[in-house]
Structure 1
Amino acid sequence: MITEVRPSGPDETNAGVRIGALVPLSRPGWAEAGRHLLAGMELAVREVNDAGGIEGRPLELVVRDTAADPHRAAAAVDELARLGVAALAGEYHSVVARAAAGRADALGLPFLCSSAVLDALTEQPTPWVARLAPAQSHGWRIYADLLLAAGHRRIAVASQPSVYWASGVRILRDHLAPRGGTVIEVDMRESTPESVCDALVEGHATALLLLVGHPEPAVSLVRSVRRDPRLAEILIGAPAGQPELASWATSLGDDGAAVPFLRYLPERLGPLGTRVGTALRERLAEAPSFVAFEGYDTVLVLAEVLRSHGTDRAGIADAWASVQVEGTRGRIRFSRTPDIGVWQWVWAPVQVVDRDPARPDRFRVLRSVACGPPRRVGPSRARA
């Protein structure tokens, strides 16, 4: 089903400029993240059209629900290409974005990926794909450094089968091992929450990282660990960002606090980010996550490309090298980065944060990186 967003524009008699939007809006996708991503894109579309559209033509979104299914996403790319969209935007799940990026590359269809972080977004370098989110290796190394600074050397990971989770384990192991850290992998295909607790005790782990789906088995794992008196001092972490959205706090309450995760926001939003944050809060009826800002910035970049280079697909792809846009979280420009085959914003701001045990609806910034080497914000408050 096509969902077209057509905010009133200055010249509705002209054919609109279409962008295909890939968003997880139903299970087993993380629909809450998809809702935030789409809200950001919709807000930006409305503002672009209020400001005159693309050379007097309204900008439109043609939305497809990927439901976290790579095959469904690839089929959606084929359909959107036939419908004549100028470019693709969006997607939250890395494995799904990888399937969409591969198909977009094969079809010669520009794709600006909003939120997926998997380093190998395509199997080979491509001129057609660009990405706003930082690469997984960049963010997860920052996260690993926080663990080391807090004194963690024996780190367990509860993981499920996935290219994304396997990549995360590899990044952590490669970064921690030379610095004296050990990664103990617990395969969730063969484990229960109770047996994970036993493995943590037997392995003398001081931290458990959740490389699993949300709500399950993540919620059950957190509850089991929190209730096990043998594990009262263990740190629970979720580098992929599960605690960012409100459903985490709703499901876990106080148990969901003090679980560090990655998000891609600056320490302080500038004037644009502050204004957009206010508008997104009104649209979502809750605090916007970083994913909503990624959605807004995606459309902001594409609108600038469409204005400056037109709607020809090859021209859009050529624009990645030269476009510069002041986004909600900093100045966005793309470049080629070693070992990453797509045009990459190097880098979006990175934070490691957790929910404050005293106020689980509030976040504490444990580490913040704008550009250059990681910088800690005050003493680390991650639980040792």
Structure 2
Amino acid sequence: MRIGALVPLTPPGWVEAGRHLLAGLELAVGEVNDDGGIDGRPLELVVRDTAADPRRAAAAVDELAHLGVAALAGEYHSVVARAAAARADALGLPFLCSSAILDALTEQPTDWVARLAPAQSRGWGIYADFLLGAGHSRIAVAAQPSVYWAAGARILRDRLAPRGGDIIELDMGALAPADVCDALADNGATALLLLVGHPEPAVPIVRSVRGDRRLAEVMIGAPAGQPEFAEWASSLGADGAAIPFLRYLPERLGPLGARVGTALRERLAAEPSFVAFEGYDAVAVLAGMLRSHGADRARIAESWPQVVAEGTRGQIRFSRTPGIGVWQWAWAPVQVVDRDPAEPGRLRILHAG
């Protein structure tokens, strides 16, 4: 029994996120096999590196389909997952996307694709609520050109505008970090959101803003979750603290989540991110489907609405969500957290949705 795995493992992909995703996938596969596999047959994970390249991901889907995988799992980058989902849909290959959040994961509704991560409109909408609750109504976004970043800015604007919020967009295709500081000083924004890649240009922007005395009261935020990973803390130290971001974990893990968290911590030699739990849950869901339906791709795709699986972060069920073309776990937990300035290795929960 084979499952294909799409993971960013080399630059320009976010390698640390890929490492966490793969750790969750591999841990779950190992546990399935320790428990007898799928009806006595071992479960094999066939991994392909997407390197954050949509064309490479689409080619990997073709290859994995030819190799006979029963289903696909994984992918962190939304634009890459969109390319993979389109190809999986065209080939009739079930794809459980673990981590990408772009609402428009497919152009048209499909029965071949499901998703564990909350849709961007839900998570980023909760982040907008947090901003307003914290007293921020004039917000600058430093954004790079991307379908993903543009969608995020639109969600924030649509959520904030009816309640008096204002979004000021700073084009990072044209501005240097020092220019961002001047723009913030001029426009009176009380918050700057990083809708940019990591480490470039996110890290230089944070350093510039933190070092500018004019901006001492400006909150920096990173809704896409860049500060979740240890690389952020090691790059920025104290400057990387107090930057709220989205994380998809409950306030307290249940027994399964706690056990898996301990195993992931040992495997990674670091605190596991929510991405690692998403990887584990993806395999747990697919393993249950394989036990029920074997490797028949059509039967797997038909069974998304019947899934009831105990995941590390709650019971997983898929449904149709308005505006979302894939089967969606609608109630994945969402938190806004940051790194504690007094102890940057510790995360503080600021808001939950």
Give the CA deviation at 1:192.
0.5
Give the match for residue 297 of structure 1. 281
Correspondent of 2:105 among 114, 121, 131: 121
Give the CA deviation at 1:310.
1.6
Matches within 5 A, 1:1-384: 17-369=1-353
Give the CA deviation at 1:304.
0.4
Cα RMSD after superposing both structures: 0.4
Give the CA deviation at 1:311.
1.1
Give the CA deviation at 1:206.
0.2
| TM-score in terms of structure 1 length | 0.92
- 1:239 maps to a residue whose letter is P
- 1:317 maps to a residue whose letter is A
- 1:303 maps to a residue whose letter is A
Segments of 4+ in structure 1 off by > 6 A?
A: none
Q: Secondary structure at the match of 1:75?
A: helix
User: Which gives a bigger RCO, structure 1 or 2 (Cα 8 Å, sep 6+)?
Assistant: 2
- 1:55 maps to a residue whose letter is D
How big is each residue's C-alpha offset from its partner over 1:267-307, in whole Å with a ceiling of 9 and x where there is no partner?
00000000000000000000000000000000000000000
User: How many residue pairs get matched?
Assistant: 353
- 1:186 maps to a residue whose letter is L
Give the CA deviation at 1:127.
0.3
Give, in whole Å, the separation in 2 of the partners of 1:142 and 1:135: 11
Give the match for residue 373 of structure 1. none
Give, in whole Å, the separation in 2 of the partners of 1:43 and 1:171: 35
Give the CA deviation at 1:125.
0.2
Q: Secondary structure at the match of 1:54?
A: coil
Give the CA deviation at 1:367.
0.8
Give, in whole Å, the separation in 2 of the partners of 1:153 and 1:270: 36
Give, in whole Å, the separation in 1 of the partners of 2:167 and 2:79: 23
Q: Secondary structure at the match of 1:340?
A: coil
Q: Secondary structure at the match of 1:175?
A: helix
How big is each residue's C-alpha offset from its partner over 1:319-369, in whole Å with a ceiling of 9 and x where there is no partner?
101010010000000000111000000120000000000000000000123
Q: Secondary structure at the match of 1:223?
A: helix
Give, in whole Å, the separation in 1 of the partners of 2:278 and 2:132: 29
Q: Secondary structure at the match of 2:13?
A: coil
- 1:172 maps to a residue whose letter is L
Give, in whole Å, the separation in 1 of the partners of 2:102 and 2:208: 29
- 2:100 maps to a residue whose letter is A
- 2:281 maps to a residue whose letter is D
Give, in whole Å, the separation in 1 of the partners of 2:352 and 2:259: 22
Give, in whole Å, the separation in 2 of the partners of 1:44 and 1:194: 45
Q: Which runs of 5+ in 2 are unaligned?
A: none
Q: Which runs of 5+ in 1 are unaligned?
A: 1-16, 370-384
Give the match for residue 378 of structure 1. none
- 1:160 maps to a residue whose letter is Q
Q: Secondary structure at the match of 1:336?
A: coil
Give, in whole Å, the separation in 2 of the partners of 1:170 and 1:225: 24
- 2:334 maps to a residue whose letter is V
Give, in whole Å, the separation in 2 of the partners of 1:310 and 1:63: 20
- 1:347 maps to a residue whose letter is W
Q: Secondary structure at the match of 1:100?
A: helix
